[in-house]
Structure 1
Amino acid sequence: MATVSILTNAGFDVRDFFVPNLGGADLTFTGLVDSVGDLLLDGSRTDTFEVLTIEANGLTYNYSGNWEIEASTGLLTGTVSASGGYDGVEVKLGDTVLATLDLPFQPVNLGTETSTGILGDVGDLVTDLVGGTVDILLGTLDETVSLVGLNLDATPDLIDIVIDAGGTQTGGDGDDTLRGGIGGDTLDGGAGNDTMIGGAGDDTYIVDSAGDTVVEDAGEGDDTVRSSVTYTLPDNVENLVLRGTGAIDGTGNALDNRITGNDGDNRLDGGAGNDRLTGRGGDDVLVGGTGNDIMRGGAGDDVYVVDSTGDQVIEEAGEGNDTVRSSVTYSLGANVETVVLTGTGAIDATGTGGANSLTGNNSDNRLDGGAGNDTLSGRGGNDTLLGGTGADTMRGGTGDDTYVVDAAGDRVIELAGEGTDTVRSSIDHTLGANVERLVLTGAGDLDGTGNGLNNAIFGTGGDNVLNGGGGNDILFGKGGNDRLDGGTGNDTLHGGLGDDTYFVDRVGDKIVELPGEGNDTVYASVTYGLSANVENLVLRGTGNLSGFGNDLDNAITGNDGNNRLTGGAGDDVMTGRGGNDTLLGGTGADTMRGGTGNDTYVIDNAGDRAIEQPGEGFDTIRSTVSHTMEANTEKMVLSGTAALTANGNAGNNEIYGNAGDTAIYGGDGRDLLYGRGGADTFVFKAISDSDVAIGGRDIVKDFDFAQGDRIDFSAIDANSGLAGDQGFQFVGTQAFSGEAGELRMKFGGGNTLLQGDTNGDGAVDFSVLLQGHHVLDSGSFIV
């Protein structure tokens, strides 16, 4: 192995005597040794050395005499003489040829002139070694040593250059070894697989081959590799700068590294330590590695790999569309657009004020877009996605995800089979496909709408409109006066506090209200019975539906079909509207309005009322208690066996007693009176109750004296000419005698006609027809 060693504080500049002819390159050969490879100069003493000879075609330059090192300057001084030719240069120590330089030289000041040289201030070295060791002694300046254009007599294993003072070394085409000294050296191995050993000082290594090796020991300064190929920093080297424009990579070590890319697409990996990575131009990948790293991507679409909460990512405005891939909880910095969470940890990501893209991992992530129109993707796990302000697009992926919606432009995207997902919305919201739950937030009056799935929808404390859509939904109104519409499907609706309105369209729909939760109403398009704690029912559509109340004081309203409305317990208000309705008040003092159509009222409480307007049909009251027909009702039928009283109104009534002893009073109008079973009493209270004319008189349809039926005229004053209340005198079939107060019977057409004279003029003042032939006596009457 041939070795050239570049040392310090000594040297002789042959450029004082030669001008090399190398096509513009410099050739400098300086040196002084006492034997091969041994250096005795130390800058502080005077020594005598063996002669070093440079021979050039017979011209010999002898460096001889007593050479001295001046103590004040550390420079070697002495005398040189030159004579002879100059081609074919050999370097000898004694008789030993150390190197052959097959180079032409142009001599300067040749002849027999003797010169004195001050060693130092050297330039470039070009030499060609055969073997052994030559020590080239340099001065103290920052020098450059180059090996170029060598014509070796033998091929060495390695050319080893060592700089002890600060300098620049450049190797040749072979596999060189360059050694620095104690200064800040620059080592450039050149072509080949070179080994560069910097030594003490802040050294710079120029690497241009993947086979180049850089060696630094611990504590030998702050060193830098400048590489034009993909490179990994060895131990004890701190900095790496990628050169050129190629797409190459740089990797750090366990130190706190500074790694700088070029303008190509680089991958920079800091490794362990608190590293600083700078991508510069190109679409770079910056991996901080362990430690708290600072990464600057520079121009281009850069990717940052973050694994510590202390990592910092720095981007300037306009430097591309950049991505952070983080295995820890991370908040995007300014001018970074995208974050992708990696690993399996339950970690979170937060965006900036721009339009960000946030992607989770397969664990439970919280993604917060912040301001801007963001795109969030949860991937696996039970994720929480907060779009923030702006029109955001959120994809939860697999798992039971939660979306926070705050803008009308927000979009929630779920695929089939991706879990049970929830939207929490502070604005009106309609669930997208494959999302199961909706929770309205805040206190505003918001609307929430489901989809075709079995949804759960929750309102706020305000007045909400909740619509389940398709599916078997559960709706919770919470506070406020809410409108809950389950939609198609068998839905369960919880109104909560407030006066809530429910829309029911299936018999399987269920309403849930707790005591004291307001005055609530159900609108049903199917037959429906009110559940507990719901007060009102309104039937919708035109179908012939039934509606049932509960134990409360209900208001039940029919539609325009033929409805059957049953109030249940409580003092109910029932309205039939159109159609031939049947209204059953149930227990309690109920108020029933049939509306248009031929309605039927079922009365079971003395406080029940049937309300009809003129022209609203032929209406019937069916009562189990004594009752007086309200205006505009036409018919009443008593039921049961109790002794009841049935009173008509001013219209033409049909009144039917029950199986018991009934007192029937028709009142004004032409009434048809049916006693039916029992000992019935047909009551007339004024001569106007039954007219004389055939079309105006009342008819008792089933009088049965043997059963105990009686005609009661006791409330009529038989003699209007006398003060007080006189009773009638039954005169049988005789004609009136002209005396007031006579009552007679008359047969005709198979019927019995009762006639009375109350003023004594012999004319009939009122008459009652008993259907059938009845032979009466005074016992048949109450006078």
Structure 2
Amino acid sequence: MAIVTGTAGNDTIQPSGNSAGVVGGLPGAGADSINGLGGNDYINGSDGNNTMLGGDGNDTIYAGIGNDSIDGGVGNDYITYSGSSGGSDTILGGAGNDTIYTFDSVGSVNGGTGQDIVYLSGVAGVNWNVAALGIETVYASDGSDTLNGATHTVAIYLKGYDGDDSLVGGTVGDRLDGDGGNNTMIGNGGDDTIYGGNGDESASGGGGNDNIYLYDGNNTLDGGDGNDRLDVGFGDNRLTGGAGNDYLDGSYGSDTLDGGIGDDTIDGSYGHDSIVGGAGNDRIYASAEAVFISGGAGNDSFYGEGYSGISLNLLTAGFEYAEGTYGADNFNAAGLTGAVTLYGSYGADTLIGGAGNDYLNAGAGNNSLNGNAGNDTLYGDNSRDTIIGGAGNDYIYAYDGNDSLSGGDGNDTIYGLGDNDTISGGKGYDSMDGGAGRDTIDYSYLTAKVTIDLVAGTATFVPAAGEATETIRNFENAIGGAGGDSILGNDYANSLVGNAGTDTLDGGNAADTLDGGAGVDLLIGGNGADRLIGGADNDIFRFIATTQSPVGVGHDTIADFQGAGAPVLDRIDLSFIDARLGAAFPGNDAFTFIGTGAFTGVSGQLHAVASGANSLIQGDTNGDGVADFEVLVLNVSAATWVATDFIL
């Protein structure tokens, strides 16, 4: 390397050939001219208004205090300052990938060809067309800089600093970094990446698939065309996706988010947000704090966030799919004609379908589901749910919990599964399975007669279209309607309710509870310690055999016998029991009521015995003077009974 030191005057330094390098150490303030020619040169201009040419090679050039003219020439050059301040310099990087540092004021900078980097240091702010200046990377100054690369055809990187900067990208994928200040950033064409700082900033991606990240501050983001990602931090922000399949993340604050055209994903997070999906099949995430939510055109999906429940009208908000928060949500799709999908979550949710073939899933919590019209599928959870299928052929699956299930109109399939469910098929030919637990089949909506057989697992009634038989499996209890119903229990402890009409209730085996309701009813307890309630009107309590109500704790109880001693009200029917047993008394003999007197050893005697305020009706069928069966009648004095209270 040739080492050349100039004088204090105006020197010209040039090697005689392509030397390995030149060092120009110029102690004076003269206007020097240095030409490195070929080689990797080290040039120090020192003081004065110098002209420094790096020539070929990867040169290092230090400008001084004066107003220098610097040309790096061909090669990957490094141009900077040797002191603490610089003059108003004219800098040309030349061909190659150059790195240029400016200091204080700067006259002009041109990177030349190649991938050039400029660091603005100590400058109050510049207004540069970086495309015209051939610069691909700029680190802005402390001031408010304008860096415009709109016509650049290669990727550029523009980084702001503390000032309020304006950064404009070119036609391909650029990176813009606003850093501090209230910046304006425009990506233009290409797949751009834009970062902001903590100021109130504006960023636009332009065409291409852009990523824009602006942090704290009240920011405005516009993705433009393309599949963009817009992400903000704290502050009240405005995000617009534009055309394309965009992702918008509002984070905290009162944000306004608009997905625009395309299949967008929008996450408002928390805050008083206003969210619009726009045209396309959008996915929107929001909390109960949101003040406006709209899916827009297309098949849109809503996802609740947070622990507070949210109410959403899917018709007016434009959604076909919704999932709940951790709170008590209310999703209503009434009025929609297409299929919707609704999911509850952990709260006590209300899910209402529309007119299409909907899917409703309750989630945890005591929920209410209504499928409305259409062939719907409805799922409960392990809580106490109320599920209504509505019109259409519905499928209801309740899981555990004491659920209330109703199919509504149509041919429905209903599974109660675990715990104690109440199931009503509604109009139509239904198939119902109570599952485990003590389940109740409910036909209280019927006005026509229904025949319920819990042993065979069938229910037959006569709707407008003709007789129908439904399948009812795994039920322990049954409720009739307003017609003259017939209900037969099974081997479980049944609860049978006739309701209005002339009903026949037969408990079968086990300890049953029979309630006839209004109407002239016939109650047959069957085997087991049964409780019989006739209800209003003139009812008959029938016993087929002495074993159906034995003496002692296994006897039956009549809870509301009316009219003991009166000409016609309720009656106890013992006519199916042979009152006198033995070969000497063939046939079915009738009992003889002897009032409150004791048995006298004559078979076929029936008497009333006081048991506190109640009565025990006892019969002796073998004449041994000991009761062979008895019925406890509550709140009726033994002395009031007469023979006409019985069918003997």
TM-score by length of 2: 0.54
Report if aligned partners of 1:613, 1:632 keep a CA contact under 8 Å in 2: no
C-alpha separation between the residues in 1 aligned to 2:309 and 2:212? 31
> 1:413–1:629: structure 2 CA closer, same or farther, 3 Å change rule?
same
**1:520 paired to 2:338:** no
Specify which of 579, 599, 606 is matched with residue 745 of structure 1. 606
CA deviation map 1:289-318 (0-9, x unaligned)? 9xxx97899785369855598x36156xxx
Specify which of 512, 524, 532 is matched with residue 653 of structure 1. 512
CA deviation map 1:223-242 (0-9, x unaligned)? xxxxx7699xxxxxxxxxxx
Q: Which residue of 1 is the match for residue 362 of structure 2?
A: 538
> 1:620–1:527: structure 2 CA closer, same or farther, 3 Å change rule?
farther
Return the letter of the residue paired with 1:694: G
> 1:609–1:547: structure 2 CA closer, same or farther, 3 Å change rule?
same
What secondary structure, in the 3-state scheme, does the structure 2 residue paired with 1:401 have? strand
> 1:484–1:244: structure 2 CA closer, same or farther, 3 Å change rule?
closer
Return the letter of the residue paired with 2:372: D
Q: Which residue of 1 is the match for residue 465 of structure 2?
A: none
> 1:501–1:747: structure 2 CA closer, same or farther, 3 Å change rule?
same
Q: Which residue of 2 is the match for residue 222 of structure 1?
A: none
Report if aligned partners of 2:165, 2:182 keep a CA contact under 8 Å in 1: yes
Q: Which residue of 2 is the match for residue 401 of structure 1?
A: 221
C-alpha separation between the residues in 2 aligned to 1:401 and 1:747? 92
After the TM superposition, which residues 358-377 of structure 1 pair with which residues of structure 2 at under 5 Å, given as runs?
A: 365-366=186-187, 370=191, 375=195
**1:732 paired to 2:556:** no
Unaligned runs of 5+ in 2: 1-29, 33-47, 52-61, 70-78, 441-474
Return the letter of the residue paired with 1:745: L
Q: Which residue of 2 is the match for residue 693 of structure 1?
A: 551
Q: Which residue of 2 is the match for residue 664 of structure 1?
A: 523
Specify which of 265, 269, 282 is matched with residue 450 of structure 1. 269
C-alpha separation between the residues in 1 aligned to 2:114 and 2:397? 77
Q: Which residue of 1 is the match for residue 134 of structure 2?
A: 313
> 1:229–1:670: structure 2 CA closer, same or farther, 3 Å change rule?
same
C-alpha separation between the residues in 2 aligned to 1:548 and 1:356? 51
Deviation at 1:767, TM superposition (A): 5.3
C-alpha separation between the residues in 2 aligned to 1:332 and 1:339? 18
**1:357 paired to 2:183:** no
TM-score by length of 1: 0.47
What secondary structure, in the 3-state scheme, does the structure 2 residue paired with 1:669 have? coil
After the TM superposition, which residues 751-762 of structure 1 pair with which residues of structure 2 at under 5 Å, given as runs?
A: 751=615, 753=617, 755=619
What secondary structure, in the 3-state scheme, does the structure 1 residue paired with 2:606 have? strand
CA deviation map 1:585-605 (0-9, x unaligned)? 485578584955xx6848695
> 1:428–1:628: structure 2 CA closer, same or farther, 3 Å change rule?
farther
Return the letter of the residue paired with 2:526: G
Q: Which residue of 1 is the match for residue 119 of structure 2?
A: 301
Return the letter of the residue paired with 2:308: T
What secondary structure, in the 3-state scheme, does the structure 1 residue paired with 2:607 have? strand
Report if aligned partners of 2:167, 2:186 keep a CA contact under 8 Å in 1: yes
Q: Which residue of 2 is the match for residue 709 of structure 1?
A: 570
C-alpha separation between the residues in 1 aligned to 2:283 and 2:493? 42
C-alpha separation between the residues in 2 aligned to 1:679 and 1:491? 52
After the TM superposition, which residues 555-574 of structure 1 pair with which residues of structure 2 at under 5 Å, given as runs?
A: 555=378, 557=380, 563=384, 565=386, 567=388, 569=390, 573=396
CA deviation map 1:435-456 (0-9, x unaligned)? 5538699989x89572334363
Deviation at 1:530, TM superposition (A): 3.1
C-alpha separation between the residues in 1 aligned to 2:233 and 2:165? 21
C-alpha separation between the residues in 2 aligned to 1:497 and 1:717? 71
C-alpha separation between the residues in 2 aligned to 1:630 and 1:536? 34
C-alpha separation between the residues in 1 aligned to 2:115 and 2:433? 86
Report if aligned partners of 1:339, 1:349 keep a CA contact under 8 Å in 2: no
Report if aligned partners of 1:454, 1:470 keep a CA contact under 8 Å in 2: yes
Q: Which residue of 2 is the match for residue 44 of structure 1?
A: none
Q: Which residue of 2 is the match for residue 635 of structure 1?
A: 495
Q: Which residue of 2 is the match for residue 23 of structure 1?
A: none
> 1:366–1:743: structure 2 CA closer, same or farther, 3 Å change rule?
farther
Deviation at 1:675, TM superposition (A): 0.5
Deviation at 1:681, TM superposition (A): 2.9
What secondary structure, in the 3-state scheme, does the structure 2 residue paired with 1:492 have? strand
What secondary structure, in the 3-state scheme, does the structure 1 residue paired with 2:308 have? coil
Report if aligned partners of 2:518, 2:536 keep a CA contact under 8 Å in 1: yes
What secondary structure, in the 3-state scheme, does the structure 2 residue paired with 1:668 have? coil
What secondary structure, in the 3-state scheme, does the structure 2 residue paired with 1:729 have? coil
Unaligned runs of 5+ in 1: 1-205, 209-227, 232-242, 251-260, 271-275
Deviation at 1:493, TM superposition (A): 7.4
User: Please, which moves more after superposition, 446-455 or 655-664?
Assistant: 446-455
What secondary structure, in the 3-state scheme, does the structure 2 residue paired with 1:730 have? coil
Report if aligned partners of 2:230, 2:241 keep a CA contact under 8 Å in 1: no
Report if aligned partners of 2:507, 2:524 keep a CA contact under 8 Å in 1: yes
C-alpha separation between the residues in 2 aligned to 1:332 and 1:583? 68
Report if aligned partners of 1:482, 1:499 keep a CA contact under 8 Å in 2: yes
C-alpha separation between the residues in 1 aligned to 2:295 and 2:581? 72
C-alpha separation between the residues in 2 aligned to 1:369 and 1:682? 89
Which protein is bigger by CA-based radius of gyration?
1
Deviation at 1:671, TM superposition (A): 0.6
C-alpha separation between the residues in 2 aligned to 1:338 and 1:364? 10
Report if aligned partners of 2:508, 2:526 keep a CA contact under 8 Å in 1: yes
Specify which of 383, 387, 407 is matched with residue 204 of structure 2. 383
Report if aligned partners of 2:338, 2:354 keep a CA contact under 8 Å in 1: no
What secondary structure, in the 3-state scheme, does the structure 1 residue paired with 2:560 have? coil
Report if aligned partners of 2:213, 2:231 keep a CA contact under 8 Å in 1: yes
Report if aligned partners of 2:517, 2:535 keep a CA contact under 8 Å in 1: yes
RMSD: 6.6
Deviation at 1:694, TM superposition (A): 2.3
> 1:376–1:635: structure 2 CA closer, same or farther, 3 Å change rule?
same
C-alpha separation between the residues in 1 aligned to 2:323 and 2:117? 60
Q: Which residue of 1 is the match for residue 434 of structure 2?
A: 611
What secondary structure, in the 3-state scheme, does the structure 1 residue paired with 2:592 have? coil
Return the letter of the residue paired with 1:517: A
**1:677 paired to 2:536:** yes
Deviation at 1:678, TM superposition (A): 1.0
> 1:526–1:608: structure 2 CA closer, same or farther, 3 Å change rule?
same
> 1:376–1:404: structure 2 CA closer, same or farther, 3 Å change rule?
farther
What secondary structure, in the 3-state scheme, does the structure 2 residue paired with 1:699 have? strand
> 1:636–1:709: structure 2 CA closer, same or farther, 3 Å change rule?
same
Q: Which residue of 2 is the match for residue 412 of structure 1?
A: 231
What secondary structure, in the 3-state scheme, does the structure 1 residue paired with 2:520 have? coil
Deviation at 1:426, TM superposition (A): 7.6
